[in-house]
Amino acid sequence: MDIKLVNPKRGTLPAIAKAFRLTTACVSQHLHGRTNNSLSQRIRKIALQMGGTEYEKIIINRKSNI
């Protein structure tokens, strides 16, 4: 599953939280991929419209051959 994460523009997190009647911590979880449902998608879309930037998280698995 490919999830695009969103970094909100500085100062917009409280406005997004107020619009969705959520806490800023909850909105942050939706934006950074800790949850992925229809509400998360709507929050990410609004954050992008308010000037946020989209990014992907890359996880590198480093196994030691020692």
Domain boundaries, the chain: 5-55
* pLDDT for residue 57 is more than 90: no
Confidence bin at 65 (pLDDT 50/70/90): low
Spatial separation of the C-alpha atoms in residues 6 and 8, rounded to whole Å: 6
Summary mean pLDDT of the chain: 89
Sequence-distant (≥ 6) Cβ neighbours of residue 30 within 8 angstroms:
39, 40, 43, 44
Classify 5-55 by CATH class. mainly alpha
pLDDT given for residue 58 in this prediction? 74
